[in-house]
Structure 1
Amino acid sequence: MNRRTLLRGGAALGALGGLVGIADLAAHATRRTVAPSDRLRVGYLPITDAAPLLVAHGSGIFDATGAGVERPVLFRSWASLAEAFLSRQVDVVHLLMPFAVQLRYSLGEQVRILAWNHTNGSSLTVRRDIRSLDELAGRRVSIPYWWSIHNIVLQEVLRRAGLRPVVREEPSAAAGTVELVVMSPADMVPALDSGSIGGYVVADPFNAVAEIKKIGRIHRFIGDVWRDHACCVVLAHQDLLDSDPWRVQALVDSVALAQRSIEHDRGRAAGVLSGDRYLPQPLPAITRALTYDGSGLHHPEWSGQRIGFQPFPFPSYTAGLIRAMHGTVVDGDTAFLQRIDPHLAHGQLVDDRFVRRSLDRLGGPATFGLPHDLHRTEEVNPA
């Protein structure tokens, strides 16, 4: 690691308020040199959910910790990102947590969740002429993937409104049915504009884009339904953890540092995401996605409109998510869910050794506003 790299990393971390200094970074970085041919490859979708990985790269944090990461590679759909991950075209991804469950238990892939990438950050956006949920009866609503928190929460919200989600079935206003269709996030705004769908549930900044362009309006923030839920997680293959635990620790340290940096200055983070072209959406949409106000919330005390950044994966959420997956309609196999014990799944799917060390290095759970004992109770209310 040369002096320029260390200084760049130190400058990037200046927003952290002295939590980690140049000496600490140098100590980590000089313990090991990563050859250019051995740098980790990270895959992502162009959404604010990927912000910690992107800011870690754009601000030089990966270099400062010695993680050794190439410029992240952009993919357009969750399916293509997962395919690249499984075929080892990329080593690390931010992936929908229910999708990670599917990879582990349906496909038998030896994958591990290392940390939460973010909390909240998604919304149900509808056409501007739709004022209430019952007006979605007889229409199509798009989701980014079947096994996603978007699909899980959307179905709970629809059922609470007296609507029935269906798959591969013509929706009927009289029957109160809503057809669910999978679309890549980039296709959702044009589809809403053309009227081929009545709404979509997706991560930002696609909800912010629809509002700025006056194509749609946010009807409900998903964080206003499931408090501080994890949407995307940092996922790696088990063999990376086994063969290179030092590198994995540096990676998780970098993600945690980037999350803390984003929380400290969201405007600056938006500039990194836009200025370095990690996200193709305009800066006003990215900024808005990171700084929504709290108007129109059902549970204002949850601050569900606000995408959050903290790395710790709570076991209560893993168990609650898997239970919720059982009641979700999808176009595909669900038999694998019967083989999962919600109480054992966290230990099988998540390896939190690295993130616990990262929290300790950054001053403990309180640095991220987390409880000291790292336990919580899930709060879900689709009403």
Structure 2
Amino acid sequence: MAISHQITAGFMPLLDSAVLVTAKEMGFAEAEGIDLMLVREMSWANIRDRLAVGHFQVAHMLAPMPIACNLGLTPLAVPTIVPMALGLGGNAVTVSNAVWDAMSAHGAEANFDPATAGQALKKVVLERVVGIKPQLRFAVVHPYSGHNYELRYWLAACGIDPLRDIEIVIVPPPLMVDALASGTIDGYCVGEPWNTAAALLGRGHIATVKAAIWRSSPEKVLGADAHWAEENPEALTALLRALGNAAKWCGDSHNHDDLARILAEKLYVAQPVGWMLPALRSQLPIGKERTADVSDFFVTFAKAATFPWKSHALWFYSQMVRWGQVQHTAKNAQVARETYRPDLYRAALKPLGIALPVANAKVEGALTAATPVGSSGASLVLGPDGFFDGGLFDPDKLDAYIASQKQ
């Protein structure tokens, strides 16, 4: 097909850049008439800023970041929309070997269970208070990241106050393992392959995973300059179709060996193939050459994995409010809600015949088992999608949910 659109996209060297990388490498973008240029960055702040100054039209972004941009919480922000998600899950919480040994002494087991790991970590935290030792320091990749919110949610649900009991700092994903090994931090929440890397290198232990803290939960999205998207609807539509086909290819387990090899290349994640495969196969290392199965650790296509649910946007917004990043107002909630654009997603992907949810939002955490739901195109099964502590988030009851959350 003749090239009709030139699009530059920023991305971070992470496993969950897979859909963007595949769209270029497997020819899905070219088939839609797109010359897709991918530019690798080393920090999320760079991604945000280069989108703001026009270097990128779209980018691989942290799911809450476009909301933060639209709320005026970030420097150099431009209006940003989310017409598509780039998958579910894909990250984990890793701790140093010393912290894991202390957690193990308090009942933590090598099974990624967030409840038992969290209770063990709580006892380790209390021991440090009694012993007048420095607080544990955990790293996340950005203040407006799913990592920050899921880490805080997990800690708070287990009785650890993220504001007082531990310290949370910002570290770019590629530096996490070295920061852990040097003792600069005691743990981190990050996307793959940086959890697997720490475990395989013997520098840390995976304590729990996002897929267990909140099953079928959002992670990265396609962020698009809103002005560019409005002025170039055909280009955006073509890109979404290319990414939809790429997501389907990534979701086929028969392609995972090839996907791992592509991502491992120097242009992309630039790390060993063996660091990519565990997450793609949902089998993460737990030490001593053992692995554990993690159901749906990283999902790119099934369960409407690329659909930009407005309930996801509003949950992230609720956490921004919870942790004092923004004031809760009807206007701010509306900004968050309108950042995610399922209307653009449906219009672009309808010709592909894939499953398209008929609703724009859902009650998060309500599905305890795989459940058929209303859809157009192919049939659609969602869930399970529960929070590990049994919590529910009903976007129609946003005010009550925010009021019920503990600081």
- TM-score bracket, shorter-length normalisation: 0.7 to 0.9
2:72 corresponds, among 102, 106, 114, to: 106
For residues 138-188 of structure 1, the C-alpha deviation after alignment (integer angstroms, 9 at most, x for no partner) is 21000000111111111121122222213xxxxxxxxx7110000111111
Amino acid corresponding to residue 60 of structure 2 in structure 1: H
The offset of 1:376, in angstroms, is: 6.9
Residue 360 of structure 1 is matched in structure 2 by: 350
1:48 corresponds, among 15, 24, 28, to: 15
1:268 corresponds, among 255, 258, 270, to: 258
Residue 298 of structure 2 is matched in structure 1 by: 306
Residue 59 of structure 1 is matched in structure 2 by: 26
The offset of 1:381, in angstroms, is: 2.4
1:145 corresponds, among 108, 119, 142, to: 142
The offset of 1:112, in angstroms, is: 0.9
Quick check: which one's strand share is greater? 2
- For the structure 1 residues 190 and 295, does the alpha-carbon distance in structure 2 shift closer, same or farther, using more than 3 Å as the test? closer
TM-score, normalising length: structure 2: 0.74
Residue 56 of structure 2 is matched in structure 1 by: 90
Structure 1 contact 45–77 (Cα < 8 Å) conserved: yes
Residue 154 of structure 1 is matched in structure 2 by: 151
- Within a 5 Å distance, the mapping from 1:212-291 to structure 2 comes to 212-264=200-252, 265-275=255-265, 277-291=267-281
The offset of 1:347, in angstroms, is: 5.2
Q: Cα RMSD between the aligned structures? A: 2.8
Alpha-carbon distance between aligned partners in 2 of 1:57 and 1:67, rounded to the nearest angstrom: 9
Alpha-carbon distance between aligned partners in 1 of 2:285 and 2:389, rounded to the nearest angstrom: 17
1:178 aligns with 2:166: yes
Amino acid corresponding to residue 379 of structure 1 in structure 2: G
- Within a 5 Å distance, the mapping from 1:6-21 to structure 2 comes to none
The offset of 1:41, in angstroms, is: 0.8
Alpha-carbon distance between aligned partners in 2 of 1:246 and 1:305, rounded to the nearest angstrom: 33
Task: Tell me whether 38-47 or 268-277 shows the greater mean CA deviation.
Answer: 268-277
Structure 1 contact 121–308 (Cα < 8 Å) conserved: no
- For the structure 1 residues 102 and 370, does the alpha-carbon distance in structure 2 shift closer, same or farther, using more than 3 Å as the test? farther
| Structure 2 residues without counterparts, runs of 5 or longer | 104-119, 129-134, 287-291, 358-370, 391-407
Alpha-carbon distance between aligned partners in 1 of 2:293 and 2:169, rounded to the nearest angstrom: 32
Alpha-carbon distance between aligned partners in 2 of 1:340 and 1:234, rounded to the nearest angstrom: 24
- For the structure 1 residues 46 and 361, does the alpha-carbon distance in structure 2 shift closer, same or farther, using more than 3 Å as the test? same
Structure 2 contact 282–296 (Cα < 8 Å) conserved: no
The offset of 1:247, in angstroms, is: 0.7
Residue 198 of structure 1 is matched in structure 2 by: 186
- For the structure 1 residues 376 and 55, does the alpha-carbon distance in structure 2 shift closer, same or farther, using more than 3 Å as the test? closer
Secondary structure at the counterpart of residue 164 of structure 1:
coil
The offset of 1:346, in angstroms, is: 5.8
Alpha-carbon distance between aligned partners in 2 of 1:375 and 1:149, rounded to the nearest angstrom: 24
Quote the sequence identity (%).
Answer: 22
Alpha-carbon distance between aligned partners in 2 of 1:141 and 1:363, rounded to the nearest angstrom: 43
For residues 190-227 of structure 1, the C-alpha deviation after alignment (integer angstroms, 9 at most, x for no partner) is 11111121100001010111111011111111121112
Amino acid corresponding to residue 120 of structure 1 in structure 2: G
Residue 324 of structure 1 is matched in structure 2 by: 319
Alpha-carbon distance between aligned partners in 2 of 1:372 and 1:302, rounded to the nearest angstrom: 27
Alpha-carbon distance between aligned partners in 2 of 1:203 and 1:163, rounded to the nearest angstrom: 22
Structure 2 contact 40–267 (Cα < 8 Å) conserved: no
The offset of 1:302, in angstroms, is: 8.6
Alpha-carbon distance between aligned partners in 2 of 1:269 and 1:189, rounded to the nearest angstrom: 23
- For the structure 1 residues 184 and 193, does the alpha-carbon distance in structure 2 shift closer, same or farther, using more than 3 Å as the test? same
| Structure 1 residues without counterparts, runs of 5 or longer | 1-28, 167-175
Residue 310 of structure 2 is matched in structure 1 by: 315
Structure 1 contact 255–311 (Cα < 8 Å) conserved: no
- For the structure 1 residues 186 and 302, does the alpha-carbon distance in structure 2 shift closer, same or farther, using more than 3 Å as the test? closer
Residue 360 of structure 2 is matched in structure 1 by: none
TM-score, normalising length: structure 1: 0.79
Amino acid corresponding to residue 349 of structure 1 in structure 2: T
Structure 1 contact 46–75 (Cα < 8 Å) conserved: yes
Residue 21 of structure 1 is matched in structure 2 by: none
- For the structure 1 residues 284 and 375, does the alpha-carbon distance in structure 2 shift closer, same or farther, using more than 3 Å as the test? closer
Structure 1 contact 144–150 (Cα < 8 Å) conserved: yes
Residue 10 of structure 1 is matched in structure 2 by: none
- Within a 5 Å distance, the mapping from 1:111-122 to structure 2 comes to 111-122=80-91
Secondary structure at the counterpart of residue 283 of structure 2:
coil
The offset of 1:68, in angstroms, is: 2.2
Secondary structure at the counterpart of residue 61 of structure 2:
strand
The offset of 1:366, in angstroms, is: 7.4
